[in-house]
Structure 1
Amino acid sequence: MTPARSTLLGCALLGALLLPPATAAARTVLLQKDGQWQLQVDGRAYVARGVTFSGSSNSRAYEQDCARLAALGVNTLRTWGTGSETHLLLDAAHKHGLKVLVGLWMRHGQPGAEGDDTFDYTRDTGGMKKQLEDTLTQVRRFKGHPAVLAWGVGNEVILNSPHDAAKEAYARFLEKVVREIKQVDADHPVISVDAWTLAVPWWEKHVPSLDAYGLNVYGGGIHMLPSELAKAGVRKPWFVTEFGAQGEWDAPKDAHGVPREPTDEEKYAAIVDGWNNALAPHVKAGRCLGLFVFNYGASFDHTGLWLGMLSGTATRPAWHAVREAYTGQKPATPLPRIAAVSVHGAEREGPSTWARVRVDVEDSAPKLQGLSFAYNFRGAATRHERDEVRRLDARPGPAPGTWRVRMPAVRGAIKLYALGKDAAGNLAVATTSATLPLAMAEAARPGDGAP
């Protein structure tokens, strides 16, 4: 999938950073008894109640981020890669009693959900050698830190490999990487991460040295995952390394061809149900080692609004759902809710096109401190533009609950957001789609809707 990665994401070496020698490293082991697996840290059983981590702003906020997450019942963070700020995150995590599944980035075989990268694992021996050397440098650098739980090598590389030959070549290279990591560090398990069960046949055949599997799954698929793994004959333990509400790639499309985003209530329910009902039996049975909810990040973009725990400084439903899943604690007061947003035609006013929009607010929910509107255009030319969410000018309409919203000058369907925050800083979002008549779109002033 396409998260807004933090500065932790890059796999480039950004300077030789030395770790403070204050605390001895912790040892993580996987034990198997009577067909059941257990993760242990320094001899104590450990189940990952985790989130993926991009951070709320920058490394100066890591202390606050880790303290807030610990208060939600989170005990583990997952990153996708290492960089110049990794040691700061590890220090902050350790201070607040958190562990980190440290990501070790592997390049992808074609441009895709994870970025515009193309790497040929069937031919580029020099490039593979460099990736291996860089990876081992990172393992040596951080293996002694007490916050390290395990290593997560790669993310959805099999998904983003163009053909079977590339998948096999990557899997064979991955086995070499895993073996050499274990020679450098015998105290932390090594997993690899991919989407759904797509990589399982390749891991099973070509990567026997993996200690466990990392599986990214969203929505109702989490209930089907254990049986799919059983059908594939998987005997190794596994983590769910990304999880949240149904993703765009699976969502049904509306009349304008725009994937239907789950409601805030559906997003909340997916996380609580996924942990308490889908995974709990398999944690107890010694098959599932833990969960990482996607994503602790604050970006105001398409993915952040769909799946994030924060939006700027505001909290989203996933924030509260993580707390209920891991601690049983529900929100002290109801969360704000926008029941629906709908478009009822458009009209020209000078050089601009204004849509007539109705917003239905849940009466029993906390009062919203104002409404705003934004749009996303998935038909844009570049990846960056496709993920942008841009603010729209709006003014109250003639009837209660109605608004006039100035529409952007784009051809094609847009996703329209209605956003409202309550006094406690919780952000409610509802979405719909709209398509301007072509003549209106062409006549609209270029740049309408810019932030």
Structure 2
Amino acid sequence: MRFTHVMLLTLTGCLLLMTAAVAQHAKPIKVELIKQGDTYTLLRGGKPYFIKGAGGSTYMDRLSAYGGNSVRTWGTANGQQVLDEAQRLGLTVTMGINMARERHGFDYNDAEAVAKQLETVRAEILKFKDHPALLAWGIGNELNLEYTNPKVWDAVNEVAEMIHELDSNHLVTTMLAGINQREIDYIKEKCPALDLISVQVYGGLAAVPERIRATGWEKAYMVTEWGPTGHWESPQTPWKAAIEETSSEKAAVYKSRYEAAIMKDRHCIGSYVFLWGQKQERTPTWYGLFTEAGEENEVVDVMQYLWTGQWPLNRAPHLDSIRLDGRKALDFIYLQPGKTYPLDVAVTDPDNDSLSTRWELLPESTDLKSGGDRESRPQAIPGHVTNATVSQARFTTPEQSGAYRLFLYVTDGQNNVATANIPFFVQ
């Protein structure tokens, strides 16, 4: 048995190496944009290709199984691995090119630093340009966020020109935070080498077609990040804690906003939903479609429906409400230290699966960044929820005053989850 096991591992390793080698030496697939009347169509290998994508390279097997066809990265780290895995699964990759940001201290007046960056990018393009899973290049991420120097767009165009010289098979874009007249004007003036723009919009997704047309942008575009209502555009408590939608509220807005914009606009060639994975950004649940354990929330069900027209056979629990002391998050809850209060949950399961709950108390995050920069997860405080059932529990507040957030996870035993949290202040 041991010999057989070793042989199997060796054979598996050889097959993986062969797959990688084949992908590395396979011919690139031509990608181009065509315009017919008022409609833009992306062609890949001469065939129409509407991007049904997700941001992130985790759970790529699930993305493929659920009807997605593309992933988007923020840089070329692990680029070979991502491209090879995408090729194996029948997916494509919009490969991010990491560009230094002014908000992190980079000076686009420094010609030597800009030239050095260009040479770094050149090496990245040469390394991956012929991979058959490659779809497009994305120059930088939200370079317009907290910036003042328009020379960044000269650098973007210089990279785009270089890419076109080295790689005639793939499209080139840049990812913008929001839709602003100033940036569109700069790009029209300074970045003629870009094939299209990419925008990243959250709460305002439904208005994207109208807003883009209002700027005078007449070419194609894609949406490279979209998702729940962003923490910067959500209601806030008096102690400045943003109020997060429940997973079920998110599912509703993902569906309605996608159908209103991405699905309908003839200038949009597709999108990348955010985030196909999990991350700490304001909270551990705000943007990820998965928990840290890989459980899928209701938004994943919605994405499968939007991509395929079919709902999954087993769906996530649906959370109607969560109340602390009879109050919801928008009631801006103040509580006394060391007191016990009731928790009430209204949740159902479409498949009548048996549900279970877990609760987690966190201090309100203070490691707050912008632009998706890495944040640290607050340390959980155990032991404050008792007598928990699916619909009720008892919660005893911490003795120390301050801002906290109580998280609820409802699971169905099928790797599906509903999530919610409720911020409160102890005083």
What is the TM-score when the length of structure 2 is the normalising length? 0.84
Is residue 49 from structure 1 mapped to residue 35 from structure 2 by the alignment? no
Partner of 2:158: 176
For 1:93, what is the secondary structure of its paired residue?
Answer: helix
Q: Is the Cα–Cα contact under 8 Å of residues 280 and 374 in structure 2 kept in the other structure?
A: no
Query: Quick one: structure 1 residues 384 and 291, their matched pair in 2 at CA, closer, same or farther if it must change by over 3 Å?
Result: closer
Q: Could you tell me which amino acid in structure 2 is paired with residue 107 of structure 1?
A: A
TM superposition shift of 1:389? 6.4
One of 77, 84, 93 as aligned partner of 1:91: 84
With 229-238 and 19-28 compared, the bigger mean Cα shift is at 19-28
For 2:223, what is the secondary structure of its paired residue?
Answer: strand
Unaligned runs of at least 5 residues, structure 2: 1-19, 326-333
Is residue 193 from structure 1 mapped to residue 175 from structure 2 by the alignment? yes
Q: Distance in 2 between matches of 1:193 and 1:153?
A: 7
Is residue 67 from structure 1 mapped to residue 58 from structure 2 by the alignment? no
Partner of 1:104: 97
Q: Distance in 2 between matches of 1:362 and 1:387?
A: 27
One of 128, 140, 145 as aligned partner of 1:159: 145
Partner of 1:126: 112
One of 185, 189, 200 as aligned partner of 1:205: 189
Q: Distance in 2 between matches of 1:408 and 1:158?
A: 44
One of 207, 214, 219 as aligned partner of 1:236: 219
Query: Quick one: structure 1 residues 80 and 19, their matched pair in 2 at CA, closer, same or farther if it must change by over 3 Å?
Result: farther
Q: Distance in 1 between matches of 2:415 and 2:396?
A: 24
For 2:345, what is the secondary structure of its paired residue?
Answer: strand
Q: Could you tell me which amino acid in structure 1 is paired with residue 232 of structure 2?
A: W
For 1:324, what is the secondary structure of its paired residue?
Answer: helix
Q: Is the Cα–Cα contact under 8 Å of residues 299 and 310 in structure 1 kept in the other structure?
A: no
Q: Is the Cα–Cα contact under 8 Å of residues 25 and 131 in structure 2 kept in the other structure?
A: no
Size of the aligned set, in residue pairs, is 391
TM superposition shift of 1:407? 3.3
Query: Quick one: structure 1 residues 320 and 408, their matched pair in 2 at CA, closer, same or farther if it must change by over 3 Å?
Result: farther
Q: Could you tell me which amino acid in structure 2 is paired with residue 288 of structure 1?
A: C
What is the TM-score when the length of structure 1 is the normalising length? 0.80
Is residue 427 from structure 1 mapped to residue 413 from structure 2 by the alignment? no
Q: Distance in 1 between matches of 2:95 and 2:412?
A: 36
Q: Distance in 2 between matches of 1:363 and 1:75?
A: 31
Query: Quick one: structure 1 residues 53 and 170, their matched pair in 2 at CA, closer, same or farther if it must change by over 3 Å?
Result: same
Partner of 1:358: 343
Is residue 308 from structure 1 mapped to residue 288 from structure 2 by the alignment? yes
Q: Is the Cα–Cα contact under 8 Å of residues 175 and 197 in structure 2 kept in the other structure?
A: yes
For 1:280, what is the secondary structure of its paired residue?
Answer: coil
Is residue 76 from structure 1 mapped to residue 102 from structure 2 by the alignment? no
Q: Could you tell me which amino acid in structure 2 is paired with residue 297 of structure 1?
A: G
1:207-286 correspondence runs (5 A): 207-219=191-203, 221-282=204-265, 285=266
Q: Could you tell me which amino acid in structure 2 is paired with residue 136 of structure 1?
A: R
Q: Distance in 2 between matches of 1:222 and 1:347?
A: 40
Partner of 1:436: 426
- Deviations for 1:276-328, whole angstroms, at most 9, x for unmatched residues? 2322221xx3x101011001113466455112121122112221121111012
Partner of 1:401: 392
One of 309, 332, 337 as aligned partner of 2:313: 332
Is residue 39 from structure 1 mapped to residue 26 from structure 2 by the alignment? no
Query: Quick one: structure 1 residues 217 and 380, their matched pair in 2 at CA, closer, same or farther if it must change by over 3 Å?
Result: closer
Q: Is the Cα–Cα contact under 8 Å of residues 51 and 77 in structure 1 kept in the other structure?
A: yes
For 1:279, what is the secondary structure of its paired residue?
Answer: coil
TM superposition shift of 1:386? 5.9
Query: Quick one: structure 1 residues 376 and 142, their matched pair in 2 at CA, closer, same or farther if it must change by over 3 Å?
Result: farther
Query: Quick one: structure 1 residues 23 and 391, their matched pair in 2 at CA, closer, same or farther if it must change by over 3 Å?
Result: farther
Q: Distance in 1 between matches of 2:56 and 2:399?
A: 33
Q: Distance in 1 between matches of 2:86 and 2:386?
A: 46
Partner of 1:293: 273
Q: Distance in 1 between matches of 2:161 and 2:399?
A: 53
Q: Is the Cα–Cα contact under 8 Å of residues 243 and 292 in structure 1 kept in the other structure?
A: yes
Q: Distance in 2 between matches of 1:191 and 1:385?
A: 27
Q: Distance in 2 between matches of 1:381 and 1:21?
A: 40
Query: Quick one: structure 1 residues 385 and 25, their matched pair in 2 at CA, closer, same or farther if it must change by over 3 Å?
Result: closer
Q: Distance in 2 between matches of 1:347 and 1:227?
A: 48
Q: Could you tell me which amino acid in structure 1 is paired with residue 380 of structure 2?
A: R
TM superposition shift of 1:406? 5.5
Q: Distance in 2 between matches of 1:388 and 1:98?
A: 35
Query: Quick one: structure 1 residues 357 and 299, their matched pair in 2 at CA, closer, same or farther if it must change by over 3 Å?
Result: farther
Q: Distance in 2 between matches of 1:108 and 1:408?
A: 42
For 1:259, what is the secondary structure of its paired residue?
Answer: coil
Percent identity between the two aligned chains: 25
Q: Is the Cα–Cα contact under 8 Å of residues 30 and 40 in structure 1 kept in the other structure?
A: yes
TM superposition shift of 1:18? 8.4
For 2:261, what is the secondary structure of its paired residue?
Answer: helix
One of 400, 405, 408 as aligned partner of 1:418: 408
CA-based RMSD of the aligned residues comes to 2.6
Q: Is the Cα–Cα contact under 8 Å of residues 221 and 269 in structure 2 kept in the other structure?
A: yes
